[in-house]
């Protein structure tokens, strides 16, 4: 089969011929139709320090996908050949305290497909049946291929109740934009999203016109708060940028007793003014991945009930042109990028 792998310790991925994976009794074999390119994939492409210390050479990368089941392990029940699916990319153990309590997303033994184990940038993927998420007919493959990052957005946005609340999002990358669309769908009153990239802010408006976009290099956040009638500030913050300046601005813009969900990862250690957080009684929640599998249930339900994130996909490439897809992603002038694998069979 065709696959994209990290075969050399330098920038790039390379197309290889690899054997079709052999599945175990509790696995399924998935024929890949579409994959999304993730920020994690860019780290692996660039071969930065994190990637060099995490990803084994020879690994098939990629973890955002949609496809159909073509083979079932002998002990698999509840699934069928031909079933369209996506899947949870975090493969967990069964014996940790967290897993035994049903908190699978907190399992310390988690391994990531396309990071620690063979991934989805391939014609076929082996996946534990436990991780399979079936796709309803009304959700097309290209949306199925971005359910992983949409799940990050949903997990972050729904960390705190949003109905009637005023929400500030820092970072208008694709996940931040989707979190804004989720917040609007979930009944937030005002949803503002900040960035310094005008292309990303324009994309945010295209995805969800009700978002109040703010280019903080040109517009003062306090002026926007006055415009929206937020004398005390925003109720909920969703930090998606990994920028210390953005977090500081968010803390300053929140009400007393405000809440912040943090998904963005800073590039290194950051100084935090903890006195501001303490004296404003702010609640902080770190967010990692998706809740297994409540996040998947909720995002599929919202997609079936009118949530539309299709415009966050701005580029589509045949997998033969994967290098162009990665370069487009690295430019910072795109939304989600989807690779089509159907030509490989």
Q: Which CATH number is 62's domain given?
A: 3.90.180.10
Q: Which residues of 77-97 are buried (b: 16+ CB within 10 A; e: fewer)?
A: eeeeeebbbbbbbbbbeeebe
pLDDT confidence of residue 225:
98
Query: Looking at the structure, do residues 160 and 137 belong to the same domain, yes or no?
Result: no
pLDDT confidence of residue 268:
82
- Three-state secondary-structure class, residue 72: strand
* Signed CA dihedral, 282, 288, 289, 290: sign only: negative
In a domain, 7, yes or no: yes
In a domain, 314, yes or no: yes
d(CA 204, CA 196): 13
pLDDT confidence of residue 332:
86
In a domain, 292, yes or no: no
Query: Looking at the structure, do residues 159 and 281 belong to the same domain, yes or no?
Result: yes
Query: Looking at the structure, do residues 125 and 18 belong to the same domain, yes or no?
Result: yes
pLDDT confidence of residue 269:
85
Angle subtended at Cα 160 by Cα 155 and Cα 161, rounded to the nearest 5 degrees: 115
Query: Looking at the structure, do residues 134 and 163 belong to the same domain, yes or no?
Result: no
In a domain, 291, yes or no: no
Query: Looking at the structure, do residues 167 and 266 belong to the same domain, yes or no?
Result: yes
pLDDT confidence of residue 104:
96
Instruction: State pTM to two decimals.
Output: 0.96
Q: Whose CA is closest to 71, among 32, 34, 31, 33?
A: 31
In a domain, 293, yes or no: no
In a domain, 299, yes or no: no
Which of 236, 251, 286 is the C-terminal boundary of a domain?
286
Cα-Cα-Cα-Cα torsion 139, 144, 148, 153, nearest 10 degrees, comes to -30
Query: Looking at the structure, do residues 164 and 211 belong to the same domain, yes or no?
Result: yes
Query: Looking at the structure, do residues 141 and 8 belong to the same domain, yes or no?
Result: yes
In a domain, 15, yes or no: yes
Query: Looking at the structure, do residues 163 and 118 belong to the same domain, yes or no?
Result: no
Please give the chain's pLDDT, 345 residues, in tens: 999 999 999 999 999 999 999 999 999 999 999 999 999 999 999 999 999 999 999 999 999 999 999 999 999 999 999 999 999 999 999 999 999 999 999 999 999 999 999 999 999 999 999 999 999 999 999 999 999 999 999 999 999 999 999 999 999 999 999 999 999 999 999 999 999 999 999 999 999 999 999 999 999 999 999 999 999 999 999 999 999 999 999 999 999 999 999 999 888 888 889 999 999 999 999 999 999 999 999 999 999 999 999 999 999 999 999 999 999 999 988 999 999 999 887
pLDDT confidence of residue 270:
85
Query: Looking at the structure, do residues 7 and 141 belong to the same domain, yes or no?
Result: yes
* Burial class for 326, CB neighbours closer than 10 Å (0-12, 13-18, 19+): buried
Query: Looking at the structure, do residues 273 and 231 belong to the same domain, yes or no?
Result: yes
Q: What is the CATH number of the domain that holds 260?
A: 3.40.50.720
Query: Looking at the structure, do residues 166 and 108 belong to the same domain, yes or no?
Result: no
In a domain, 302, yes or no: no
Query: Looking at the structure, do residues 6 and 94 belong to the same domain, yes or no?
Result: yes
Catalytically annotated residues: 40, 43
Q: Which domain holds residue 239?
A: 153-286
Quote the number of domains for the chain. Answer: 2
């Amino acid at each position: 089969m065709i696959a994209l792998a990290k075969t050399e310790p330098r920038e790039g991925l390379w197309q290889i011929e690899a054997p079709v994976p052999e599945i175990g009794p509790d696995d399924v074999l998935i024929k890949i139709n579409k994959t999304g390119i993730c920020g994690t994939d860019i780290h692996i492409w660039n071969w930065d320090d994190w990637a060099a210390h995490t990803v084994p050479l020879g690994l098939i990368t990629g973890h955002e996908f949609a496809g159909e089941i073509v083979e079932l392990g002998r002990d698999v029940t509840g699934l069928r050949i031909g079933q369209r699916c996506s899947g949870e990319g975090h493969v967990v153990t069964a014996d940790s305290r967290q897993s035994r309590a049903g908190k699978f997303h907190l399992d310390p033994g988690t391994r990531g497909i396309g990071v620690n184990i063979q991934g989805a940038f391939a014609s076929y993927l082996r996946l534990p049946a436990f991780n399979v998420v079936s796709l309803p007919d009304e959700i097309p493959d290209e949306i199925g291929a971005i359910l992983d990052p949409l799940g990050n957005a949903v997990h972050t946005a729904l960390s705190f109740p949003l109905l009637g609340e005023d929400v500030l999002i820092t970072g208008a990358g694709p996940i931040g934009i989707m979190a804004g669309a989720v917040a609007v769908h979930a009944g937030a009153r005002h949803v503002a999203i900040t960035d310094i990239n005008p292309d990303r802010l324009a994309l945010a408006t295209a995805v969800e016109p009700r978002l109040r976009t703010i280019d903080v290099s040109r517009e003062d956040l306090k002026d926007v708060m006055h415009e929206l009638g937020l004398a005390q500030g925003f109720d909920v913050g969703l930090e998606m940028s990994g920028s210390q300046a953005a977090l500081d601005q968010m803390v300053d813009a929140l009400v007393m007793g405000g809440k912040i969900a943090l998904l963005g990862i800073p590039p290194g250690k950051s100084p935090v003014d903890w006195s501001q957080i303490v004296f404003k009684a702010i609640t902080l929640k770190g967010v990692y991945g998706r809740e297994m599998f409540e996040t998947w249930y909720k995002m599929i339900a919202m997609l079936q009930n009118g949530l539309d994130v299709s415009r966050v996909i701005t580029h589509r490439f045949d997998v033969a042109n994967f290098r162009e897809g990665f370069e487009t992603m690295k430019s910072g002038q795109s939304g989600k990028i989807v690779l089509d694998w159907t030509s490989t069979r």
